[in-house]
Amino acid sequence: MKYRLLLLSLLLVFSISAFAQIQSEQGKVVLTDGQVIEGRITYFHDNPIAIKVYDTANNKQTFEPGDVDKITLDNGRRFVAKKYRSSSETNILIFQELVVSDYMSLYKREMPYRKFYVYTDNEVIELENNETTIEGNNGKRYSKMDHKYVGTLMILMQNRTDLIEKIQKTKFNEKSLASIVTAYTNGNVSYYFADAVKEDKKPYFQVYAHYTNHAGYYGVSTTGSTGFQVGVQYYFSSETRHSIRLGLDISNYEVNDTFYGNNYSHTQSVFKYKTLSFKYQYDFVKEEKLRSYLLVHILDVGHMQRDVQELVYNPIPKTDTRAVYDLRFSPGVGFELYATQKVSLFAEVNHLFHFQHLPKNVSIGIKYSYRKL
């Protein structure tokens, strides 16, 4: 149970990440020397040093953030390259513009967690909202957010005492932060693109097939147990890290039990499953050619037939059947490599909490993506 609670906590943390990178979007890149490159643009925060542009003949040009002035996509999104000084180093990063003004601008990045920044006086400043732990009067420890961004905004906007109450009520999301920045500029903005603006999320799906070796049956070791699954995987956006899978799975599990007591007994059981399998996937590394992901096996619904044979005294096999409704919440990890822009190969290690069977619970397969490039 404690492992499942840990898994649910991880899923809650992952769920805050959403859209960040640019994936095969039409637009133009303006370089620092004024040159304009038009085409299909790809940029991932997981590989932040490479902005790739493909022309109509699929020829690729790759630029570093230091080569880029700005990126403008046909769907209205805009990105800008700015120098950012952290506590340890200074880098040129690519930020998505949310509000642009001569007085103060609002940017965001997702790596994969969403971060917000303000740009003022030629400096990019992060708006932080860190999780901290405090101890209550009863001795228990609690987690809370420190709302550090509120103090940062109070300092940056100290010349606007009329906004103090509004700053204190500002929430840590696009819409609320865009609202306070816009209020600070008295509405004098040249560009606005926040949550209130609807993006074309371009959802897409993949079809897949995979072969699985089952080293265990609900924690019990098996011999010669395999399965095959075909299904569909749905991404909520071309840029999101979240997806769901629905697959038709046919698996056989062979379990041998030996009992030494007053009577020696040796039974062989074969569990034959035909189920619909529901899974959730989170891509914690997402680049142009590869994915690394967490895969959570959530639910199986279907039919199971069990063939049991006592091999010593009663060799006549017995068969029984039952409906299957198994809530699993069993995690795995996977790696996916794109051979082409639409065809990928993947390998997965399943049921990580069954430590005694690692890494033998494995799947290998192929996917085809139905998405516009």
8 pLDDT above the threshold of 70: no
Separation of alpha carbons 68 and 27, rounded Å: 14
pLDDT in tens, 212-231: 998 877 667 777 789 999 99
Mean pLDDT of all residues belonging to the chain: 85
Q: Which of 82, 75, 65 has the alpha carbon at shortest distance from 29?
A: 65
Q: Distance (Å, rounded) from C-alpha 76 to C-alpha 131?
A: 33
Q: What is the pLDDT of residues 13-42, one digit of tens each?
A: 444 444 447 878 899 999 999 999 999 998
Res. 59: pLDDT tops 70: yes
Taken in order of first residue, the domains within the chain and their CATH numbers are 16-192 (no CATH), 204-370 (2.40.160)
pLDDT at 131: 82
Of 138-147, 175-184, 327-336, minimum mean pLDDT range: 138-147
Find the mean pLDDT for residues 118-133: 91
Please tell me the pTM assigned to this model.
0.67
Which single residue is written with the structure tokens 């038709």? 248
Residue 111, judged by CB atoms within 10 A of its CB (0-12, 13-18, 19+), counts as middle
